Structures are given as structure tokens and as C-alpha cells.
Amino acid sequence: MSVDSLVRCGCCVAWGNHMREAGFTVAEKNLPLADLNAAKVEAGLKPGQTSCHTE
């Protein structure tokens, strides 16, 4: 699984760790906020459908 996250976001780090503990292989990519938001829009997510680790 790929996790795009904000640089130094504790929530995103915890999410990645949680998913690893659940048996997933996690590739994390730290992005600036504008790039992270653009990736969410590109994925087709609409306002209200996202959180910091939604993709």
C-alpha cells in the first residue's frame, strides 16, 4: 500500500505503523500540502471525503 503523507505528520506515521502491524507492506511518500491535496483531487476524491491519510 502507498501512503502519501505530510512531512512529519504524526497521524500519518501512526497510520503507516498500524497498517504494517496488520500485515501490509507500506511505502510512505512525504509530500508538501499542496501536492498531497492535488493527489487527492487527481484520485477523484471530493471535499468531505478526505483526511490526512486518505488516498
How do residues 26-46 score in pLDDT, each as one tens digit?
998 989 989 988 988 998 988
Domain limits for position 24: 2-34
* Contact assessment for residue 24 and residue 2, using Cβ atoms and an 8 Å cutoff: no
Residue 25 pLDDT class (50, 70, 90 cuts)? very high
Domain-located, residue 49:
no
Domain-located, residue 27:
yes
Domain-located, residue 41:
no
Q: How many other C-beta atoms are found inside a 10 Å radius of the C-beta of residue 16? A: 19
Domain-located, residue 54:
no
Q: Strands 2-6 and 27-31: what pairing?
A: parallel
> Percent of the chain beyond pLDDT 90?
35
43 three-class SS: coil
Residue 22 pLDDT class (50, 70, 90 cuts)? very high
| Number of domain units in the chain | 1
Domain-located, residue 24:
yes
Domain-located, residue 51:
no
φ, ψ at 11 (rounded to 5°): -65, -45
pTM recorded for the entire structure: 0.68
> Running DSSP on this structure, what letter comes out for residue 13?
H
Angstrom distance (rounded) from CA 4 to CA 43 = 12
